Amino acid sequence: MKMSISEFRAKCTKVVREVADHPYMVEITNRGKVVAVVSPPPPETEMNPKDFWGSLKGTVADLATDFDEPLGEDEWEAAQ
């Protein structure tokens, strides 16, 4: 469905509610050119915990071998 920007301005609340209730898109035009699209959001999906755990596996590029060594006196002062 296409609608001019002035018509959309007058009926904005009604159009948004209709789009929320009925899944269709409204193209907003300005002098015949589409400048915006009003559409319903994508369906909500729940995150499966099994997909979450391990999802970052292999993303650490480089880990220094001495990452867990205590800081020396100079590094400790600089880190404060």
Digit-coded pLDDT (tens) for 34-80: 999 999 988 877 777 777 777 777 777 777 777 777 777 777 777 77
Q: pLDDT, tens digit, for every residue of 58-69?
A: 777 777 777 777
Residues sharing a CB contact under 8 Å with residue 27, sequence separation 6 or more, in sequence order: 1, 2, 3, 34, 36, 37
Pick from 43, 33, 1: which is nearest to 18 by CA? 1
d(CA 56, CA 67): 20
Domain boundaries, the chain: 1-39
Q: Are 5 and 28 in contact (CB under 8 A)?
A: yes
Class level of CATH domain 1-39: alpha beta
